[in-house]
Amino acid sequence: MEEETEAKPFRNKEKSKQKFLYAVEKILHTKGFSGLKVNDIARTAGLDKKLIYNYFGGKDGLIDEYIRSQDFWSNVKDESGGTVIKDGGKKFSKDMLLSQFDYVFKNKNIQKILLWGLLDNRRSLKKLANDREENGARLFEGITDPHFEKNAKRYRAIIALLISGIYYLDIYATTNDCTFCGLDLKSADGRSEIQNAISFLIDKTYE
Amino acid sequence: MEEETEAKPFRNKEKSKQKFLYAVEKILHTKGFSGLKVNDIARTAGLDKKLIYNYFGGKDGLIDEYIRSQDFWSNVKDESGGTVIKDGGKKFSKDMLLSQFDYVFKNKNIQKILLWGLLDNRRSLKKLANDREENGARLFEGITDPHFEKNAKRYRAIIALLISGIYYLDIYATTNDCTFCGLDLKSADGRSEIQNAISFLIDKTYE
DNA sequence: TATTTTTATCACCAATTGGTGATATGTTGT
DNA sequence: ACAACATATCACCAATTGGTGATAAAAATA
């Protein structure tokens, strides 16, 4: 019956799939990787585990779909909006790094997925890595490579170090209470110190 | 019978404990964290799992002892040997970072333990983190803090970024085939590019 | 209405998990 | 030789793991 604005059957495949995906997120958030058991996922979703096999082909399929559902790079897409970049990408790089530092710290799901990329080697993670590479390629090939010419590769290496350093520190700060190089990465003070360093290093690189 | 140079009882507690520790290492190396089940560990060690409970109090105790057995920082201890440092620790920092980049890449066990530090929060890992902090404190408080004065904290932040970037990239290179920022972190070429970047950034920091 | 298809549940399986008490076997000291 | 002790094995447990075929219940179609 389609008299209501939305036909709402009590049994809805799409909605159930969403419940499973949300269950993965919830468990990942509370118990971590080791908590991702089919039985637990089903219980958390409030549905029968058989459906995981019917809808996703199994636990791996479900997890793959969960990872794919997180579009990591949506927040870093170019906001320049047609503005011509004439500083060799200095401002863009700096903004990107600083916003990543903030974004990853706040987004625990992303942290888990990044960790996954270091632990496992599943297909869905490769897709994510490829996204990052493609996204970066636009910055490098379009802007910084022409600007740095001979030293283009060195610039890429610097960004690689900073990006991965940012990831590591953000994840470290979440799971550990301990300081890192004497800096409290959870405090506003420690974090602003890292931000200063990022800004400083980019400035120096463009000198 | 003690006719041989060393009395060698067929049943030797210490030797058995070593077998378990080695089994942990082996499994960690081949199957990763998820493979660390008491049954598998015992089978790999060629001993009964009951001994794990008798000798280590359980799986966690065994793993803790394994982690403790890896003294990560042995390779970075000061080699200056009394030489007075008068460049503000520039050479020392650079050497340390470059040697860490190499060491962590080659030592897969350390990679696993570093990953553990991002996943878990066990006591033995905290001890490791404390070791790192204490080790770093010597460099910072003794050498770089006096040199950078006002900017001492910024220098710490820079080292934090580089160290953690190095860790992340090394681990990433091991588990992934994919490039990072367009650099092949497994190739000599890609790795020397990172080395250049490290060297460059330290130079710029001391300018 | 009756029929068919989709959606979801249930009961059950074999294999594996962590864990333990009883027992055997080797080692040492008397 | 013997006992006393340390070392290691074994059989067994309850709970949990991933996985499936039979079946129920709801929805769509006729």
CATH of the domain at A19: 1.10.10.60
Residues with CB under 7 A from strand D: A 1, 7, 9-11, 36-40, 49-50, 53, 58-59; B 11-13, 15-16, 46-48, 50-51, 54
What is the Cα–Cα distance from A61 to A50, expressed in whole angstroms? Answer: 13
Residues B92 and B192 in one domain: yes
Answer yes or no: is pLDDT of B84 > 90. Answer: no
The residue range of the domain holding A50 is: 13-69
Shortest alpha-carbon distance between residue A205 and chain B (Å): 8
Nearest by CB: A194 against B140, B157, B166:
B157
Instruction: Say whether B129 and A207 touch across the interface (CB within 8 A).
Output: no
What average pLDDT does this structure show over B151-173?
Answer: 98
What average pLDDT does this structure show over B130-147?
Answer: 92
pLDDT at B35: 95
Shortest alpha-carbon distance between residue B62 and chain A (Å): 19
User: Cβ-count burial of B30 within 10 angstroms (0-12 exposed, 13-18 middle, 19+ buried)?
Assistant: exposed
Nearest by CB: A157 against B120, B196, B205:
B196
**Residue with the larger pLDDT of the pair A74 and B109:** B109
State the pLDDT confidence band at B5, using cuts at 50, 70 and 90: very low
Q: Which two tokens stand for residue A159?
A: 């960004």
* Residue B135: inside a domain: yes
Residues B134 and B57 in one domain: no
Residues B97 and B145 in one domain: yes
Residues A78 and A177 in one domain: yes
Cβ-based neighbours of A186, under 8 Å, separated by 6 or more: A173, A177
* Residue B2: inside a domain: no
State the pLDDT confidence band at B122, using cuts at 50, 70 and 90: confident
Residues B100 and B190 in one domain: yes
User: Which residues of chain A lie closer than 8 angstroms to B121, CB-CB?
Assistant: 175-176
* Residue B158: inside a domain: yes
State the pLDDT confidence band at B4, using cuts at 50, 70 and 90: very low
Structural domain ending residue among the three candidates B46, B69, B92? B69
Residues A105 and A194 in one domain: yes
pLDDT at A1: 36
Chain B residue with minimum CA distance to A123: B176
What is the Cα–Cα distance from A161 to B183, expressed in whole angstroms? Answer: 11
**Radius of gyration in angstroms for the set of CA atoms belonging to chain A, rounded to a whole number:** 21
State the pLDDT confidence band at A84, using cuts at 50, 70 and 90: confident
Structural domain ending residue among the three candidates A54, A69, A84? A69
* Residue A62: inside a domain: yes
Structural domain ending residue among the three candidates A43, A69, A95? A69
Residues A42 and A95 in one domain: no
Tens digits of residue pLDDT in B49-72: 999 999 999 999 999 999 999 877
What is the Cα–Cα distance from A194 to A167, expressed in whole angstroms? Answer: 12
* Residue A148: inside a domain: yes
Residues A129 and A159 in one domain: yes
Cβ-based neighbours of B33, under 8 Å, separated by 6 or more: A119, B112, B115, B116, B119
* Residue B5: inside a domain: no
Residues B60 and B85 in one domain: no
User: Cβ-count burial of B117 within 10 angstroms (0-12 exposed, 13-18 middle, 19+ buried)?
Assistant: buried
A contact test, residue of B28, B73, B164, B179 with most A CBs within 10 A: B164
Residue pair B189/B84 in contact (Cβ under 8 Å)? The answer is: no
What average pLDDT does this structure show over B94-105?
Answer: 96
Residue pair B162/B201 in contact (Cβ under 8 Å)? The answer is: yes
Instruction: Say whether B162 and A161 touch across the interface (CB within 8 A).
Output: yes
What is the Cα–Cα distance from A54 to A27, expressed in whole angstroms? Answer: 21
Residues B80 and B28 in one domain: no
Q: Which two tokens stand for residue B175?
A: 């588990």
pLDDT at A2: 33
User: Which residues of chain B lie closer than 8 angstroms to A169, CB-CB?
Assistant: 160-161, 164
pLDDT at B86: 80
pTM summary value:
0.93
Residue pair B59/B45 in contact (Cβ under 8 Å)? The answer is: no
DSSP 8-state class, residue B149: G
Answer yes or no: is pLDDT of A5 > 50. Answer: no
* Residue B197: inside a domain: yes
Shortest alpha-carbon distance between residue B52 and chain A (Å): 22
DSSP secondary structure, B41-58, as one string: HHHHHTS-THHHHHHHSS
Count of the separate structural domains present in chain A: 2
Nearest by CB: A172 against B120, B164, B201:
B164
* Residue B6: inside a domain: no
What average pLDDT does this structure show over A191-207?
Answer: 97
pLDDT at B75: 67
State the pLDDT confidence band at A6, using cuts at 50, 70 and 90: very low
Residues A89 and A148 in one domain: yes
**Residue with the larger pLDDT of the pair B139 and A4:** B139
Tens digits of residue pLDDT in A22-52: 999 999 999 999 999 999 999 999 999 999 9
Instruction: Say whether B133 and A168 touch across the interface (CB within 8 A).
Output: no
What average pLDDT does this structure show over B124-148?
Answer: 92
Residues A25 and A105 in one domain: no
Q: Which nucleotide has its C1' atom closest to residue B10's CA? A: C26
pLDDT at A121: 83
3-state secondary structure chain A: CCCCCCCCCCCCHHHHHHHHHHHHHHHHHHCCHHHCCHHHHHHHHCCCCHHHHHHHCCHHHHHHHHHHHCCHHHHCCCCCCCCCCCCCCHHHHHHHHHHHHHHHHHCHHHHHHHHHHHHCCCHHHHHHHHHHHHHHHHHHHHHHHHHHHHHHHHHHHHHHHHHHHHHHHHHHHHHCCCCECCECCCCHHHHHHHHHHHHHHHHHHHC
Answer yes or no: is pLDDT of A4 > 60. Answer: no
